[in-house]
Chain A
Amino acid sequence: MGRLLPITARSLRDSWRGLLAWALGLTAALALYLPLFPSFGSNGSLEEIIATLPPELVDALGYDQIGTGSGYAQATFFGLIGFALIVIATTAWGASAIGGAEENGRLELDLAHGIGRVSYVLENALAILLKLVVFGIVIGVVVGILNGPAELGLEASGIIAAIAALAGLGALSAAAALLAGAITGRRIAGVAAGAGIAVYGYALQAVANQSEDLRWVERLSPYSWAYSEAPLESGFAWGIAAVWGVAILFTGAAALALRSRDVTG
């Protein structure tokens, strides 16, 4: 009865403007940062500047490898601005999908219709996943175009692995936001959870980079799971799969949480 995946379809149709804006933002960030690499990344001038910074700051920001094309792309886009943009976008989507819908009354009406609660969560998660795929394609195409002119020397397998890692971190924040929204019915709880897990992972990774004695801390950081094996340089690593795995777990938990409680709005 009815169309296939109606919730996913509605979510995509209602948010294509936002998706387009975010994609343009990601493209602009890539187009601003990557072409600068030849002018001060590869010739060492950026490394000179960085040498004047406190080493703790450099370690925290992951700027130690900035002299290579992959290190530069990682430190500027994948590890920092791209990460921030994607986490903000997916957190907002995840938080509004259930917590936001419950607050504005849409969830009550939706669930009074012929929609199951588990499929409600899963279809919303699928919509976010599809939007992440769009982001991944946009990033892949733009990085692919800039790779030659910006003298980054990136391999296709590295680009794909880094996109999978970045999208995984986005999916993790989205799933945490979905889960918190499904438990509490509050959008703000979703925002806190999605942003919280991103900040937590980033901060722990920064701490772990401070000294070899603290290196173990990175095992607790999803950000480190995604990036510590330098995916742009060395391709796929199991840590990336682990990030996606936790995102899937959170999504499943969100479905169970929503199924088992009263919707109040």
Chain B
Amino acid sequence: MTPAIELNDLRKQYGRRTALHGLTLSVTPGTVFGLIGPNGAGKTTTLRMLVDIIRPTSGTARVLGTDPRTGGAALRRRIGYVPGEFRMEGRATGRRLLDFYTSVSGPVSPGRIDHLAERLSCDLSRPVRTLSKGNKQKLGLIQAFMHEPPLLILDEPTSGLDPLMQREFLGLVHEARQNGQTVLLSSHVLSEIQQAADEVAVLSQGRIVAAGAVDELRLGAVRRIRAVLTDADPNAVRGVLAPLSTSTPPEVRAQDDRVIVHATLEGEIDPLVKALARFHVAELLIEEPDLEESVLRLYGSASTDTPTAMGGE
């Protein structure tokens, strides 16, 4: 089957600055592909090249089997695109904006726009310039999803959305996948990609540092721990924690009659919970570090020239 997106050694240079160092990836039709990486990693640059907003310095891109440089308007009608920064001004209402994009990229099935607007609780009768960032973003989602294109390219699609709407968005992505649409989305929020995507590529400083099936990347395996124990001896706590795979020795300190533990854990959570259970646990906080931290921790500095291939076929 022809990949929905196929990039081969795609490079982008802005003057002397290289935004993208030879990107190679392939997205299987009917799947959800996540592109994650810290801000400035090259996600937006990549996605913009797929809709011919910017052009690669070298390398090739195939989108739905066609080079975006030559595919023109006909190719872009088959793509739904949410730009990284959805800014919209003007006196026109949301509905008029959507009617306009229907006229250039339609057809849109009757009732589809109202259905989407209702799901995202987006008021289409207000002038676009009076909308909050979140509501503008909803319009951005509607204009991408409304004509049910075979390919959706979504750059940070949930930025500005509240958690309820983020869940609604995940529902939309899920449905699109069930309809056989392909989705490529970028995010700097790891959990979002983990919930939505089948496969993922991790981008850092213009390079893919890891790629594969979401579960196999174990990006979520790095966790930051904070625990407060009572009735404990700091040395005993240190002894119990020592066998655990922490990236740096856990920080254990006594404060009054409590022992406070800070650690960054790699791998399974179970040994830690069992270890702490020997003491009286007053507080336990386990949190996902930000993406930048986990990417860099897992895949080293971004200067690695060869991407670590994990999972995939």
Contacts and interface: CB of A to CB of B under 8 A. Distances in A.
Contacts of B53: 108, 111-112, 262-263
Contacts of B143: 109
B104 A115 contact: yes
Given A106-B90, A114-B105, A265-B85, 15 more contacts: A1-B106, A2-B105, A6-B104, A108-B83, A109-B143, A111-B53, A112-B51, A112-B76, A112-B79, A113-B77, A113-B81, A113-B101, A113-B105, A114-B76, A262-B55
The 4 closest A-B pairs by CB, nearest first: A105-B87, A114-B77, A262-B54, A112-B81
Nearest to B12: A262
Interface in B59-117: 72-74, 76-77, 79, 81, 83, 85-92, 100-107
B240 to A, nearest CB: 54
B89 A106 contact: yes
Interface string A241-265: 0000000000000000000001111
A262 B87 CA distance: 19
B interface bracket (residues with beta carbon within 8 Å of A): 20 to 34
B100 A6 contact: yes
Contacts of B288: none
A10 interface: yes
A262 B74 CA distance: 19
Contacts of A110: 104
Contacts of B104: 2, 6, 110, 113-115
A264 B51 CA distance: 13
Contacts of A109: 81, 83, 86, 88, 140, 143
A168 B73 CA distance: 32
B52 interface: yes
Interface in A1-36: 1-3, 6, 10, 14
A1 B108 CA distance: 11
A81 B224 CA distance: 70
Interface in B166-197: none
A21 to B, nearest CB: 14
Most buried by B among A3, A109, A115, A116: A109
A14 B91 contact: yes
Most buried by A among B86, B88, B100, B140: B100
Given A111-B52, A264-B54, A104 B87 contact: yes
A6 B103 contact: yes
A120 B286 CA distance: 52
A2 to B, nearest CB: 4
A112 B100 contact: no
A115 B102 CA distance: 12
B12 to A, nearest CB: 9
Nearest to A262: B54
Contact of B72 (A2, A14, A112, A116): A116
A3 B91 CA distance: 21
Interface of B: 48, 51-55, 72-74, 76-77, 79, 81, 83, 85-92, 100-107, 140, 143
Interface residues of A, number: 22
A112 B82 CA distance: 9
A264 B48 CA distance: 9
A148 to B, nearest CB: 40
A2 B89 contact: no
A89 B48 CA distance: 33
Contacts of A263: 53-54
B103 A3 contact: yes
Contacts of A6: 100, 103-104
A72 B55 CA distance: 54
Interface in A98-144: 104-106, 108-116
Given A2-B103, A111-B52, A262-B55, A116 B87 contact: no
A113 B82 CA distance: 10
Contacts of A114: 73-74, 76-77, 104-105
A105 B91 contact: no
Contacts of B103: 2-3, 6
Nearest to A260: B55
Nearest to B84: A108
A14 B85 contact: no
Contacts of A104: 87-89
Contacts of B51: 111-112
B91 to A, nearest CB: 7
A1 B74 CA distance: 10
Contacts of A111: 51-53, 76
A104 B74 CA distance: 25
A265 B85 CA distance: 10
Nearest to A10: B100
Most buried by B among A10, A110, A114: A114
Given A2-B104, A115-B104, A262-B55, A105 B85 contact: yes
Interface string A182-212: 0000000000000000000000000000000
A31 B46 CA distance: 57
A110 B140 CA distance: 12
14 contacts: A2-B102, A2-B105, A6-B100, A105-B85, A105-B86, A105-B88, A106-B90, A112-B51, A112-B81, A114-B74, A114-B77, A263-B53, A264-B54, A265-B85
